[in-house]
Amino acid sequence: MNDLLDDFWVLLVLKLVAVLGVFLLVPLVVGYMEHKVMAHMQARVGPMEAGRFHGVLQLVADGIKFVQKESIVPRAADKWVFTLAPAVALIPGILVFGFIPYGRDLVPIRSDVGLFVVLALSSVSVVGVLMAAWASANKYALMGGVRAAAQLIAYELPMVLAAAAVAMQAGSADLAVIAERQGSLWYVVYPWQAVGFLVFGAAALAELQRPPFDMPVADSELVFGHLTEYTGLRFALFLLTEYAGIVSMGAVMATIYLGGWQGPFLDGPWWLALKVFALAFLVIWFRSTFPRLREDQLQSLAWARLVPVALLIILVAGFVKVV
């Protein structure tokens, strides 16, 4: 058994299957959670039919529906870019899952700079959004794309700065090491890192374009932003990207602030899953509570509030490290 696991190729296949499984399954669960949690927050019941028990298979049914729909490419669209955009948005999302430490020795791809690889990958998705926006030949889509780009630039900075403070405290940018260092005390317990957690969380919400930072797809202004012209499976892939983004961002936050796979009893991937779902619940809660910010308010929040605060956190973290 151990000999088999030592074989590079066998291990690779196993890792790939596991990562893909996580990638396909967990976002679906989060999507279903969004349906149900929002419904109950809004005095509704949500899906009740598909899958017999409280609509558990609703998203599977939705997926089947999307597959059957016609894939329309607008005549004026840039066909290749339009077709490729969902893939460009999706694939970095899959790759992120490879770098997350799921347990003490359960790290599919270990890297010394894992933290920053993950952040870099998650921002590649926006290239897909821009491609979709530009190729759609639609004014609403274009405005959505420009907003998405501006939003990404504004929020990447506080996010990376907050993450840098964590890396400084851990003395490593390796996600597995960061997780392991929190064995005794989670980083979020330190006051300056707690602020960093909030900064990182706000920036992550903005990067995922989730409310209250969902201006790129603001339905009452821009119809559906870059998604306006998409139908069928391509549209579904964008939706999958969104939920996968929630999961991957949740996993990163859980890893760098909340101790990752470690918990009070019996360390393991389940702790990570629990934390990810708790964070996803927060994200859904925000969606049903907040209106969206205006574009300029979003920018001033990023540059005038989050960036200075993040710099301050780095300062404090450095000070604590040296003293």
Partner 1 sequence: MSAGGNEGQPREPAPAPGGELAGAAYQAADGTGVGILIREQAGRELHTQDMTLNVGPQHPATHGVLRMLVTLDGERIESVEPVLGYMHRAFEKLAEYRDYRQIIALVNRHDWVSSICNELGVALVAEKQLGLEVPERATWIRMLMAEWTRVLNHLMFVGSYPLELGAITPMFYAFREREEVQALMEWITGGRLHLTYCRVGGLKDDLPRGALDMSRSLVPRIRARLDEYETLVLGNEIFRARTRGVGVLPGEVACSYGCSGAILQASGVAEDSRRTEPYLFYDQVEFDVPTGEHGDCYDRFAILLARMRQSLRIIEQVHDRIPPGPVNVKLPKVVKPPAGHAYVRAENPLGQLSYYLVSHGERTPWRFKMRTASFNNVSVLPWLLTGALMPDMIAIMGSIFFIVGDIDR
Pull the structure tokens for residue 277. 């779902």
Q: What is the DSSP letter of 211?
A: T
Binding mask 142-161 for partner 1 (x = CB under 8 A): -x------------------
Residue 301 as a binder of partner 1 (CB under 8 A): the answer is yes
- 13 lies in the site for partner 1, by CB under 8 A: no
Pull the structure tokens for residue 247.
């999961």
The reply to whether 71 sits near partner 1 by the rule CB under 8 A is: no
Residue closer to partner 1 (CB basis): 79 or 294: 294
Which position among 20, 24, 44, 71 is part of the footprint of partner 1 (CB under 8 A)?
A: 44
What's CA 31's distance to the chain center, in Å? 13
Contacts of 292 by beta carbon, 8 Å cutoff, 6+ apart: 211, 212, 213, 214, 215, 218
Whose tokens are 């999507």? That residue is 31
What residues have CB less than 8 Å from 265, skipping those under 6 apart? none
CB of 93 to partner 1, least distance (A): 24
Scanning the structure block, which residue is given the tokens 């780009």? Answer: 149
Buried b (16+ CB within 10 A) or exposed e, 70-81: eeebbeebbeee
Based on the shown chain and the rule CB under 8 A, indicate whether residue 133 belongs to the binding site for partner 1: no
Q: Which is nearer to partner 1, 80 or 285 (CB)?
A: 285
Residue 223, interface with partner 1 (CB under 8 A)?
yes
Only one of the segments 12-20, 48-56, 170-178, 212-220 lies at the binding site for partner 1 (rule: CB under 8 A); that segment is: 212-220
Site map (CB under 8 A) of partner 1, residues 268-297, x = contact: -------------------xxxxxxxxxxx
- Number of neighbouring beta carbons within 10 Å of residue 316: 18
Task: Write down the least CB distance from residue 225 to partner 1, Å.
Answer: 12
Contact residues for partner 1, defined by CB under 8 A = 38, 41-44, 139, 143, 211-212, 214-215, 218-221, 223, 287-297, 300-301, 304
